[in-house]
Structure formats: C-alpha cells, structure tokens
Structure 1
C-alpha cells in the first residue's frame, strides 16, 4: 500500500491494543496503523499455545490464530495497516517521522496513539556475568525460533524467572520437544499466582527459590551456569538459558520528543484520559504497564479508541477550523512507601477514561494502601502481594492533589 501522509489517527504498533483502538475508530475517521515487523498481531503471533481470545472471540485460541483474528477484524472495519515501517521520531503537531521501503516520510495526524508494547530485560540488564556463548534467549526470541522457524535451539535449558511468561516458555519448550531442567527465581516465592505456580511441578521441573544466576559458562554454546542460593554456590550443567520476564516498556521513541517518559514505569506519563504530556498523543497497552495479558491490552485499546474518538468529534465536525485539544489540568499522583514502584496513570485529570489506578511493588508486601485527595484519606485497602503483580485501586470521584500511601505490616 502507498503510505498516506495525512490521517485523522495514527496508531504506532499493531499488537492487540493498537488493533483494538484502530478498529473502534475506523468507522468514524481515517486510521493508519504502522508496524515495524513484517506481520501484524504483536507478541501473540509468536505464542503457539492457548489460551487467547476468550473475551475478544468468546473461545480459546492459539496465539497466531488470535493475532490473525484481530488483524482480520481491523481490516474488515477499514483500518489501513502498513508493515515494515519504522517510526524514528515524534514531533509536536502531532507528526511522526518514519522510514519505509519508499524512504523517509513524515505523517501528520490529528491524534497519535502509542502502542509499542514491551520487551524482556536482557542478560546484560540483569548483570549476569560469565562468557557469551550461543543459546541465551529471551522468551520472545525462543517463541520466534520455535513457532516461526520450526527450530530447536537447545534441549536442556534452565529458565530464569517465574512470571506468567516463564510458564509460556515451558509450553513453548514442550511444543519443540525441549525439556527444561530447572527454573531459577531470585525471590522467596514464585511470581505467578497459584495454581499456575504448580505448573513446573506437573512438568517435573525443579524450581530453585531465593537463587540467582551468577555466571553463564561455555565457549560456542552454553555448557552450564553458576547459581547461588540458600545452600551456597553450585554448578548446573545445561545447554541453554531462557531469560524470561522483567518486562520493560518499548519506549525508545520518547527520547527528545514531545512525550515525556515516566522514569518509574519506563513508559509514557499519562493522565486519567490516557493523554500524554503532549495531549495530541495517547498511549495504551503494555508500554504503560509491563506486563499484562493480550486480552487486557485489547480491552484497554478499545477504551482508548473510544476516548480518542470523543476527543476528535468537535474537530471533525469543523475540519476547516481545527482546534487543539484543551490543555488538561494535571497534578502528579504522589507515591509514599519504599516498596511502591510505580503507578499508572501518573497524573490526575477531571475527565476519566480509566476506572482504576494500577500499581506495582518491588518486593513482597503485606499491609494497607490508602488513597488521599488534598491531604484527606478517601479510601483504604488491604494489600498482600508480590513484585510484577497487578494492583488495582478504584479512582476516587473527588478531584484534587492525589497521593497513595503504603503502610506495611510489622
């Protein structure tokens, strides 16, 4: 397709959130989705296992089938999807610089939705030492090799992490005839909730808690890992390492642009309408909250599509005299408590598209979370949770300066 240079809404990222938003918008305005990969659908197209699609298609689906279903639904609605398009810069206006087969181009839009998703933390970001042999993969890379290239990169790997995606790695290994020999978890308990945390036991995979990988050994291929746990240091013979989880927002586009990044979550800072610091830009999906399920991101994308459409209605009714969106009244939401990692949204606004505040903690926590508006407590909730788990607090109806206070139990 010829890349249009002016549209009502430009969506960056063709995963569940971006496709859901575009599908909502397509009947009412011109929408273009740009995707850097050669196929649309996002991470699910690499996941050849169940369950996807229950809330979107009302039946369990494998990841690739689910991704194809979302793409077909978007295209049927009239969404243009441009593949192999790399966004290189965001500008006020809004407008976006891209590179494609035709060269460098600038796309102008009334609104832009950022939906670029997440990536797993690398070995280097986790400060794992040792040599640099082949056979060290993220879960996403493993899924690409197994499901897209029908490859078996190793036979007896260890898996670092116990998040949901770590169990997805077990399923991917089973599909390829790979038998993981251990899961390594630095925390004292598995990250995934029960009963999923029982899955490794069903597969006869030992889980080593309170244990970390110190070094990876091997010349051309992985030959072993050095781990340190409750019983001290020891060597595990293995031919691969799957470095899973600890997702980070895919937010490199935000450098030096009009959209400011939240240093805590790693993604764009938004208000309760999903608007970024430049209110022509919106954001949705896992770049906001690493990491949620595909279904969660799809529902959030739908919501952002409706929100953007409502924002655009006055402009589209008077196309000759477009007006910029009103500058939203924002105040930062303050977190008080050493264990609180981040909150999304990060800013208040009088209008609300989100129903809840989402938080994460950086260590296991038991205690009480209280929400304060203008210094007055308006709600309080018990909390007993672990890192990388979703915490949802209803957004209070009161307007004003908001803070969230964590009081940990002794």
Structure 2
C-alpha cells in the first residue's frame, strides 16, 4: 500500500508533535505523525509528576496531562496521528517502509522529520555485575509499570544514577508510597545541579557518590546491592534496583536508513537546520542529543518545522558547510555542520564539571564565537554563532575548551 503526504514525522513525542502543529499552522495540508506505540505523547505519558507545559501552554502540568494536550492540539490542527505504526526504514526519495497491524506498508513524503527520541541504556550495556533477580529495571520501565499498568514493583529500591531522570524516579516513587533506600552514583559527583539534588535530601534519601557496584544479590527477587564506597564494602538491603540515566539515541531507524551518524552522540549528523545526510530527512529532539527536557525538544521540533517549510519551496540539497570538531574535554556538539549566511546555536556537552572558556575558530585559528562556561556534568551548554562568511568555512571548524583551574 502506498500513500503520499507533505511531511511524515517519525515519533509522536514533544519534538514530533511540536513540529506537526507548527507545520499545520504554516499551511501544510497533510502532515502525518507515525508513532510505534498505541498512544502518542512520548516519555511524558508515564511521568506522572510536574513540571511540564510552562513553555508550551503557560501552565504547570503533569506528564500525562501535558502529553494529552500535545496530542489534542495537533489533532485539532488537522494532523493525522497513526499509532501502532513502526517505521523500519527511510529510503531515498522520502519513501518510508512501515510495519503496521494491517501488515507492511509504504508512505511517500515530500520531507521526513525523524524525532524518535532516546532511551536509557540497559543494565547489560552498563556492565552491572551480579545476578538477574526480579526487581531490576530502568526509570522508563518503572514509570511504565506504575503509570500505565498501575503496578508497584517494589517498596524499598536503590536508584543508581544522579542525572535529572534519577530525580524523576525519586518523584515517581514518592507519589506511590515507595521509599528509596539510597541514590548511588558511580562517578565522583552528582550529574545534575546541587540545588536539584536537594530533592533527595528533602526526601531523606542518602546520595552515595564515587561508589563501585560489586553485585546484585537475591533470588528470585532483589534482596541487596553490594558496593564499595569510600574504600569500604557495604551491603544495601533493598527489594529493587532502578538504573537511571546514561541515555543513548533511539537511532535504529537512522542506522537502517543509512543516515550518517555522529560517533560522539550516536545519533544522526545534522546541519544547523536539522538536515541529515539525506537531503529530504530532517532530525529533531533527543535522538540528536541525549538528553534535553520535553520543552526544549518541543521548541526544537518547531524550529525544524520552519526549516522544513522553507526547504520544501526548493529542490532538496545535501547538507553543506564546514564540520565542527570538538576538542579535548568536550563530549559532543550538535549540529555537527555549519553553513554560511545563517546564525546557529551549538548544543554542547562537556566531560564532567568544567570552568573555563569555549571557543569556536576556523582553520586559520581566527575566533568566530566564544563564551565563558561554568557547568555541572550533564548541563546543556549553548554557544551562539553569528552568520558566517564563506571564507570562514574553507576547512573544519574547531571547538575547544580552555579550562581554568
């Protein structure tokens, strides 16, 4: 079965729905959102706590209420949302191969937006030691069990990780009578702001940093987590383990579609408009940069929609411009390419907490943009880059971090 649409959006989370609504408001008649789950709305569907929605709707909402508002706004604007539809590949010419409950289908689109988000790494990917008893899961599985299935998987878990999603796990537990025993971080310091980590203290949950996980004990259920902390071996009695954070892009479709991937983010490589190596495929949201807030992804989807709308008025062109090469102390940068004539904002992550100066320079060493930076480990860092002249793009651009002790 073959159908045609103006824009096909792969992924019905905040980035995809934000883009769909914006495209509809710009006048495109047929915008189709393809969502693999039975309900659109993305990760916020099973984050039952606030705050969501201030940027989008001017009010504080819970995750499920926010997701419903996004879906309703898109549907009222005439966007077609197809659930239980998995995109298996995007072929040249805007041809999408679909797996649906009615069998295999294809959909041809003038432009495609990939907005598949990201996921937490599995315990196997984190190389966590010990047995495999019942009660070990990531934050997404915890929230799905509680908010979507109405189940409470344990009463006294240990949360492994200290990124912002670990605080989401804490809030989920608190709302459902679950009392975490501790928050354990294998790195030397929490991975989010000190003020955010006050939540754990207010909830009476100790935070153990610099801990080495030794083993998970128990059969058939979790009974304890054994670790080494400050040189001493400890046993934390618990009935569950939640591995939080350590996100990776949900880039399966990108790989199967042979889009160029960035070795640092593991997501698609894009230019400042979000255009991938396929000139008809654009990308937005957390598949590009694990991980940003829902509000940021929504805004990024809207910006991608505007770029797509402009691009549809001309013949598709391959991403051009100079590559941005991040130096020592920088984990990644998005976008990975900059073209002449348009300003851009670089989304950067540093390796750990840093204090210093970020500098973007051309092949001759001339500074093109710079800013002071003082960041915690997982803080999104932005660098505004003015419109560049072609002469600045004759070779790779270098992004460096000049540290201050």
Is TM more than 0.5 here?
yes
Equivalent residue for 1:398, pick from 369, 383, 388: 388
Residue in structure 1 matched with residue 313 of structure 2 by the alignment: 313
Q: Following superposition of structure 1 onto structure 2, how do residues 71-110 of structure 1 map, counting pairs within 5 Å?
A: 71-110=71-110
Q: Following superposition of structure 1 onto structure 2, how do residues 239-388 of structure 1 map, counting pairs within 5 Å?
A: 239-314=239-314, 324-337=315-328, 339-350=329-340, 352=342, 355-374=344-363, 375-388=365-378
Question: CA 1:330–1:378 in 2, change beyond 3 Å: closer, same or farther?
Answer: closer
CA distance in 1, matches of 2:10, 2:322: 27
CA distance in 2, matches of 1:42, 1:222: 30
* Contact persistence 2:341–2:387 (CA under 8 A): no
CA distance in 1, matches of 2:234, 2:94: 55
How far is the alpha carbon of 1:408 from its aligned partner? Answer: 2.2
| Cα shift readout 1:254-295 (whole Å, capped 9, x = no counterpart) | 224241111100110000111001111000011111111111
Q: Which runs of 4+ in 1 moved over 4 A?
A: none
- CA RMSD, Structure 1 to Structure 2 (Å): 1.5
How far is the alpha carbon of 1:351 from its aligned partner? Answer: 5.4
CA distance in 2, matches of 1:301, 1:356: 15
TM-score, with length taken from structure 2: 0.95
How far is the alpha carbon of 1:220 from its aligned partner? Answer: 1.1
SS in 2 for 1:109: strand
Residue in structure 2 matched with residue 232 of structure 1 by the alignment: 232
Residue in structure 2 matched with residue 20 of structure 1 by the alignment: 18
SS in 2 for 1:220: coil
How far is the alpha carbon of 1:362 from its aligned partner? Answer: 2.5
| Cα shift readout 1:34-57 (whole Å, capped 9, x = no counterpart) | 000000000001011111100111
Q: Following superposition of structure 1 onto structure 2, how do residues 30-41 of structure 1 map, counting pairs within 5 Å?
A: 30-41=30-41
* Contact persistence 1:355–1:395 (CA under 8 A): yes
SS in 1 for 2:194: coil
Give the paired residue count. Answer: 397
User: Is 2:8 the partner of 1:10?
Assistant: yes
SS in 2 for 1:255: helix
CA distance in 2, matches of 1:131, 1:75: 46
CA distance in 1, matches of 2:353, 2:61: 33
Question: CA 1:4–1:75 in 2, change beyond 3 Å: closer, same or farther?
Answer: farther
How far is the alpha carbon of 1:381 from its aligned partner? Answer: 2.3
| Cα shift readout 1:234-273 (whole Å, capped 9, x = no counterpart) | 2111110010011110001122424111110011000011
Q: Please say which of residues 155-164 and 226-235 is displaced more in the overlay.
A: 226-235
* Contact persistence 1:329–1:350 (CA under 8 A): no
- Structure 1 residue runs of 5 or longer lacking an equivalent are 315-323
| Cα shift readout 1:318-374 (whole Å, capped 9, x = no counterpart) | xxxxxx31334222111121x21110001112354x731011122232222211023
Residue in structure 1 matched with residue 50 of structure 2 by the alignment: 50
* Contact persistence 2:193–2:376 (CA under 8 A): no
CA distance in 2, matches of 1:86, 1:306: 25
TM-score, with length taken from structure 1: 0.93
CA distance in 2, matches of 1:351, 1:110: 25
* Contact persistence 2:2–2:108 (CA under 8 A): no
